Amino acid sequence: MPLPAARTPLSELDPAIALGALDGRYRGAVAPLVDHLSEAALNRARLHVEVEWLIHLTTQEVVPGADTLSASEQEALRALVTDFDAAAIAELKEIEAETVHDVKAIEYYLRRRLVGIVGSNDPARATSLSELVHFACTSEDINNTSYALMVQGAITQVWLPRAVNLVDQLVGMAHDLREVPLLAHTHGQPATPTTMGKELAVLAWRLRRQLERVSGTTYLGKLNGATGTYGAHVEAVPGADWQEVSRTFVEHLGLTWNPLTTQIESHDWQAELYSDVARFNRILHNLCTDVWTYISMGYFAQVRGQGTVGSSTMPHKVNPIRFENAEANLEVSNALLDVLASTLVNSRLQRDLTDSSMQRNIGTALGHSLLALDNASRGLAGLDAVPEAMAADLDANWEVLAEPIQSVMRALAARGVEGMTNPYERLKELTRGRRIGQAELVEFVRGLGLPAEEEERLVALTPAGYTGIAAQLVDHLTR
């Protein structure tokens, strides 16, 4: 039976119901990004750039004869940004309904406030100063610097700290489990043993490399007019060194100046960043699938007694939902990050608006990654290693010792020891396609005619003891 046609329209309820999961079910995990990548955050960033541009023009006396702003007036203007609140958001919405242009709405909003800050004492001065609001700017001068500041804040203040914490958590697990022997599986088959700590260290090392790339991101900005030529700037004030004015302003914002652009900043740095975050996501996805598999093998037990329901029908189950949730969100995040990275580097001739719509999805892309970080971290925190299960699998796969035995025989043959020929083929005949136990392996080794010292060493070897220097390799995480 279909849903009834006559039902309460959920779209009309107050407070408004979120359409997407990030603003609904998962709001708590991603809420910090709202302060950086929401529509309100974009308008606050735009206001910040407009205020700083006005202050820059006046303090540097770029326009000869123009009034300057007192220290108290500059402080009052900057307070518009720090005190940006629900009332400001509502007023901007009203202005934009008239302008049908979001950046122009910011300009008019600032002009209104400037009159209040300066005009009470000198209306004429307020009027002249208001002409320097958005002076010689195209909307993209404001937008590109605003997005750069927003993304910079979102990455450095929210995403990176969460990602670093997760990697640190993984590093701690790697050190704790460095000595715990683990039967490796290559191509899904039992393979040369390692340790659980070393395998987790590999993933931590890979993730950390990507964090270094993300940490080294250069956030670019430009302010050079409608087609990047400073045309309006030069005609308005021919005597100013506009490149220097632009450079010092962009650097004052905490960004790196891009000297050569069209109407838009080319967004190459964004594409680079999103590719790096996506690569981190993919490695984290690899971690989640590996840990999920280890759980299915019984190598990790999920901590019980946390008040969660593992399965709605099977009481014995504790499902690895944190890792599955992380996988799904990493895939959504990467779908968005990939399209951002591939689309933002293209712009028809001097400008098209595809980037404007595309950049509004940055928060969603990073939000799903942040949610995955939260789930993966909580999942890792809920694990207990089960060395007994790992040991049982090792003890059931003595055939993995065929490798060291044939390697010892090869070394002896290379030194001229008789009877050590064709070691690979001899071990293959013993082990290929079947399981062998300790007794069979010992009997085989005793019959090889090895030098006594080598024979005793191999007879004493066990799968759990055949881990090479796996434990020592974990130390690379602390070098």
Query: Which residues participate in catalysis according to the annotation?
Result: 187, 311
Cα separation, 232 vs 225, in Å, equals 7
Answer yes or no: are the C-beta atoms of 57 and 135 closer than 8 Å.
yes
8 A C-beta contact, residue 366 and residue 154: yes
Count, residues in the chain: 479
SS3 301: strand
Query: Helices 196-215 and 268-297 sit at what angle, rounded to 10 degrees?
Result: 170
Question: Dihedrals φ, ψ of 65, to 5°?
Answer: 85, -10
CA angle, corner 428, sides to 400 and 426, nearest 5?
Answer: 115
In terms of Cα–Cα distance, which of 155, 138, 165, 162 is closest to 216? 155
Q: How far apart are CA 288 and CA 147, in angstroms?
A: 31
Cα separation, 143 vs 131, in Å, equals 20
What distance in Å separates the CA atoms of residue 223 and residue 134, rounded to the nearest whole number?
A: 11
Task: Give the tokens for residue 345.
Answer: 């580097």
Judge residue 290's burial from the number of C-beta atoms within 10 Å of its C-beta, 0-12 exposed, 13-18 middle, 19 or more buried. middle
Three-class DSSP labels, 343-390: HCCCCCCCCCCHHHHHHCCHHHHHHHHHHHHHHHHHHHHCEEECHHHH
Q: Which of 144, 143, 165, 142 is nearest to 211 (CA)?
A: 165
Contact 474, 198 (CB under 8 A): yes
Closest CA to 167 of 213, 216, 204: 204
Pairing of strands 220-221, 189-195: unpaired
| Tokens representing residue 445 in the block | 């080794």
